[in-house]
Amino acid sequence: EQVTESLLSPQDSDTTIPIDETLQFNESLQSAHRGMDELIGSGTNILAGLRDQRVTLKGTHKKILDVANMLG
């Protein structure tokens, strides 16, 4: 019985795997990954919005120049 207990309980703490800490670390990594995905998605949407605004502003600028040229 003593031999069985000594085989089942690690004698050296360096050889044990901290399962709880590993799971918590993995969950933290997954959460960070999701956060980065959301951040990239937001950045992509912002960039698309800025591109749309650029197109709109270029069109407006052209119309203003056209009107200025007509007025002399």
pLDDT, residue 13, reads 57
- The domain limits of the chain are 33-71
List average pLDDT for each run of 10 residues in the chain, which is 72 residues long: 57 64 92 97 98 97 95 85
Residue with tokens 């590993």: 22
CB neighbour class for 8 (10 Å; exposed up to 12, middle 13-18, buried from 19): exposed
Tokens of 6: 């000594």
| Maximum distance among all Cα pairs of the chain, rounded to whole angstroms | 105
pLDDT, residue 19, reads 83
